């Protein structure tokens, strides 16, 4: 966790913004109410002044927005769906409702700049936001309360963020394989521009370096999207090498399932001939055969923690920690076994936590 050192922004009045901009109170009110009859340069002037004052957007006396804008511009699969479900349930007891912006098509929406002018929105939770850090900084400077879940890139300073311990989880996974005797381990990495992809890749490599193993470049593949099909394709390339790996680790469980299919197509038995591991501990991990060794992410807890941080911000409380990293767990199942072992039996399911 990284400690924040800023005091929480205090609210200002419409009169404060009017005095800062030289505009009338009525004009400032029209901007803050999201009225259409406002010139773009006037709207920008008001929003810029709010950022300069470094305070939360003013509201009329008696107003209380009850909407929380949740931006998750991806398909709500078991991964994203669990986060959204958890935070929705956590918001409900507080009389707050989710305004959901989801689906791949939502990645084209330019919504962050409009949030400060919405009278129905009290704050936001942004899940793996595709927007660059500069846009998040602008939203923060306008005094709008929001929390980032699973940052796509390193979160800017003084922006609240919740993530899982990707590096530690990946390190536990590779350590497990090394303890089983594996040294030639194929890595199927996720998108290189994702913070999670970078951290997991570093975590995979760390125990190998400690064991004195220099990872051969031909044993690594990266994919643009963490899908089953791309996992299958990357695993096929690795398993067709003249000196194939004895184990594969994949960026997530979907890609690991693709690797299982590639192994079956080549007549390789898992785990007797090849160990395979994933990441996330999604429902897929227990639905496939053999069941996957994987790393469990605290997805529900990530959603609940984001709500907790946002509620503190909305209540005007100072956040003691802005960047919160939650522990991951290694879950050992039947898809990994001793290198060159007999394959007579599978390891008992157990977990390790970091």
pLDDT digits (tens, 9 = 90+) for 196-246: 999 999 999 999 999 999 999 999 999 999 999 999 999 999 999 999 999
pLDDT digits (tens, 9 = 90+) for 138-175: 998 888 999 999 999 998 888 999 999 999 999 999 99
Q: Is 134 exposed, middle or buried (0-12, 13-18, 19+ CB in 10 A)?
A: exposed
Q: Highest-confidence range of 103-107, 115-119, 274-278, 310-314, by mean pLDDT?
A: 274-278
> Which two three-digit tokens encode residue 17?
């913004």
Q: What is the pLDDT of residue 117?
A: 86
Q: Average pLDDT of the chain? A: 85
pLDDT digits (tens, 9 = 90+) for 3-14: 444 444 444 566
Angle 222-226-229 from CA coordinates, rounded to 5°: 95
> Which two three-digit tokens encode residue 20?
């800062």
Q: What is the pLDDT of residue 189?
A: 97
Q: Highest-confidence range of 37-51, 71-85, 271-285, by mean pLDDT?
A: 271-285
Q: What is the pLDDT of residue 63?
A: 54
| pLDDT mean over 58-84 | 79
Q: What is the pLDDT of residue 320?
A: 77
Residue 147: strand, helix, or coil? strand
> What pTM did the predictor assign?
0.76
Count of C-beta atoms within a 10 Å radius of residue 136: 21
Q: Quick check: 1 pLDDT over 80?
A: no
Q: Quick check: 186 pLDDT over 80?
A: yes
pLDDT band at 127 (very low <50, low <70, confident <90, very high): very high
Contact status, residue 192 vs residue 251, Cβ threshold 8 Å: no
How far CA 277 is from CA of 24, 213, 245, 311, 337, in Å, comes to 62, 19, 13, 37, 11
Question: Can you tell me which residue has the tokens 């501990």?
Answer: 281
Q: Is 120 exposed, middle or buried (0-12, 13-18, 19+ CB in 10 A)?
A: exposed
Contact status, residue 140 vs residue 160, Cβ threshold 8 Å: no
| pLDDT mean over 311-328 | 88
Residue 82: strand, helix, or coil? helix
Which residues 6+ apart lie within 8 Å of 226 measured at CB?
Answer: 190, 191, 251, 252, 254, 255
Q: Quick check: 2 pLDDT over 50?
A: no
Contact status, residue 305 vs residue 161, Cβ threshold 8 Å: no
Q: What is the dihedral of CA 254, 258, 263, 264, to 10 degrees?
A: 100
| pLDDT mean over 48-75 | 66
Which residues 6+ apart lie within 8 Å of 104 measured at CB?
Answer: 73, 74, 75
Q: What is the pLDDT of residue 62?
A: 44
Q: Quick check: 24 pLDDT over 50?
A: yes
The values of phi and psi at residue 303, to 5°, are -65, -45
| Residue 314 preceded by cis peptide, ω within 30 | no
| Nearest residue to 119 (alpha-carbon basis) of 59, 42, 38 | 59
Cα dihedral 235, 238, 240, 245 sign: negative
Q: What is the pLDDT of residue 303?
A: 96
Of residues 91 and 346, the one with the higher pLDDT is: 91
């Amino acid at each position: 966790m990284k400690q924040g050192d800023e005091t929480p922004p205090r609210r200002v009045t419409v009169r404060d913004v009017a005095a800062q901009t030289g505009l009338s109170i009525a004009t400032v009110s029209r901007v803050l109410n999201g009225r259409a009859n406002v010139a773009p340069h006037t709207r920008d002037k008001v929003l810029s002044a709010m950022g300069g004052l470094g305070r939360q957007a003013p509201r009329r006396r008696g107003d209380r927005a009850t909407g929380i804008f949740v931006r998750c511009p991806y398909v709500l699969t078991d991964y994203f769906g669990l986060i959204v479900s958890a935070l929705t349930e956590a918001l409900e007891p507080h009389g707050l409702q989710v305004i959901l912006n989801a689906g791949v098509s939502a990645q084209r929406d330019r919504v962050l700049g409009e949030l400060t002018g919405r009278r129905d929105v009290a704050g936001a939770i942004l899940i793996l936001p595709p927007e660059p850090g500069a846009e998040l900084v602008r939203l923060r400077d306008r005094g709008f309360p929001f929390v980032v879940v699973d940052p796509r890139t390193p979160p800017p300073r003084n922006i609240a963020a919740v993530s899982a311990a990707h590096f530690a989880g990946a390190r536990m996974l590779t350590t497990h394989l090394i303890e089983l005797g594996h040294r030639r381990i194929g890595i199927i990495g996720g998108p290189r521009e994702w913070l999670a992809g970078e951290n997991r890749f570093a975590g995979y490599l760390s125990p190998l370096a400690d064991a004195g193993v220099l990872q051969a470049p031909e044993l690594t593949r990266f994919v643009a999207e963490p899908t089953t099909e791309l996992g299958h394709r990357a695993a096929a390339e690795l398993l067709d090498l003249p000196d194939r790996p004895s184990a594969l680790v994949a960026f997530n469980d979907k890609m690991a399932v693709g690797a299982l299919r590639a192994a079956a197509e080549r007549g390789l038995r898992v785990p007797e001939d090849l160990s395979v591991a994933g990441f996330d501990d999604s429902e897929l991990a227990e639905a496939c055969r053999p069941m996957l060794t994987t790393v469990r992410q605290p997805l529900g807890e990530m959603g609940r923690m984001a709500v907790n941080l946002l509620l503190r911000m909305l209540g005007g409380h100072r956040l003691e920690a802005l960047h919160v990293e939650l522990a991951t767990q290694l879950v050992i199942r039947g898809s990994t076994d001793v290198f060159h072992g007999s394959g007579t039996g599978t390891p008992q399911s157990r977990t390790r936590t970091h």
